[in-house]
Amino acid sequence: MIEFRQVTKRYDSDHTALRQVNFHLDRGELAFLTGHSGAGKSTLLKLLMVMERPSAGEVVVGGQMLNRLPRRQIPYIRRHIGVVFQNHQLLFDRTVFDNVAMPLEVMGASPRDMGRRVRAALDKVGLLSKEKMNPLQLSGGEQQRVGIARAVVNKPPLLLADEPTGNLDPKLSADIMNLFAQFSQVGVTVLIASHDLALINEMGRRTLTLDHGNLIAGGTPLQGGPSGR
């Protein structure tokens, strides 16, 4: 589902965020991405979202090579990637329903389809009763779950999360992690950037560890063969 081949990202001559990173994640796999702050976690996620382009190497998502993707194709790639942010990026000028509906709206879904899928996503995160509320009226944990509902509403094959439990207490964090685990069980590839080591250890999943741009643990060695697999 995701494959990094010798990926290097250099911002300028003296700042290299990622150095020759190799790994791949299979369909339905849930993995953590960890490392000290500034180790390159966000850069790695940005490369997957095509917010940044690698300086060298190849990033492949769902069989699509992102390096040479034309700019106008970027939105169509992003429609296949759900993203959850630490600060959830919700819009406070509209209801919970409208926030969750945004990925469907950009795709031009019909209102009936939209209603059905938004309610299914809200039901999944246990917020069906709050669809008409403004996100400001919700607690931090609830807001984060609205963000997750938005990320999964169009059933993307890949789900990325950047510090999704950063501001939450351990109980809420565990709830959210369980949600992610459920998504991976139905075939969604989930990559969670986090530095909450206690939680990561508790989950017992594969963990990619970055240190100063080098992937020091959890990576898969690049296997032989012309295709790179």
Partner 1 sequence: MHHRKVARDSAGRLWRTPVASLMTWAVMGVALALPVALLLLLTSLQGVSAGWESSARVTAYMDLDASLEQTRKLASEIASDGRVAELELVDRDRALAEFRASSGLDDALDYLEENPLPHTLLITPEENARSANGVAALVTFIESMDRVERVQVDLGWLQRLNAMTDLLARAVWALAILLAVAVVLVIGNTVRLSIESRRDEILVAKLVGGTDGFVRRPFLYTGAWFGLGGGIVAWVLLQLSLWWLNGPVERLAGLYRSNFSLNGLSIDGALALIIAAMLLGWLGAWVAVKRHLSDIEPGEIAGG
| Residue numbers at the binding site for partner 1 (CB under 8 A) | 37-38, 42, 45-46, 49, 51-52, 72, 75-79, 83, 85-86, 89, 91, 93, 102-103, 105-108, 110, 150, 162
CB distance 59 to 65 below 8 Å: yes
Min CB(89)–partner 1 separation in Å = 6
Residue 50's SS3 state is coil
Burial 53-69 (b: 16+ CB within 10 A, else e): ebeebebbbbeeebeeb
Nearer Cβ to partner 1 (195/222): 195
Residue with Cβ nearer partner 1 (38 or 178)? 38
- Residue 201: HSE in the Cβ half-sphere, 13 Å Cα cutoff: 3
Tokens coding 213: 């741009």
For partner 1, the closer CB: 106 or 217: 106
Q: Which residues pair with 7 in a beta bridge?
A: 21
Query: Which CB atom, from 51 or from 197, has the smaller least distance to partner 1?
Result: 51
Residue 224 CB, nearest distance to partner 1 (Å)?
34
Nearest-approach distance from CB 161 to partner 1, in angstroms: 11
> Which DSSP state fits 195?
-
- Whose Cβ is closer to partner 1: residue 91's or residue 223's? 91
Helices (H), the chain: 41-48, 74-78, 96-107, 111-124, 140-152, 170-185, 197-203
Smallest separation (angstroms) from partner 1 to the CB of 26 = 23
Interior/surface letters 106-136, b for 16+ CB within 10 angstroms, e for the rest: eeebeeeebeebbbebbebbebeebbeebbe
**Least separation in angstroms between CB 112 and partner 1:** 11
Closest to partner 1 by CB, 74 vs 229, is 74
Backbone angles phi, psi at 98, to 5 degrees: -65, -35
Q: Which of 163, 159, 211 is nearest to 40 (CA)?
A: 211
Residue 36 Cβ vs partner 1, minimum distance, rounded to whole Å: 11
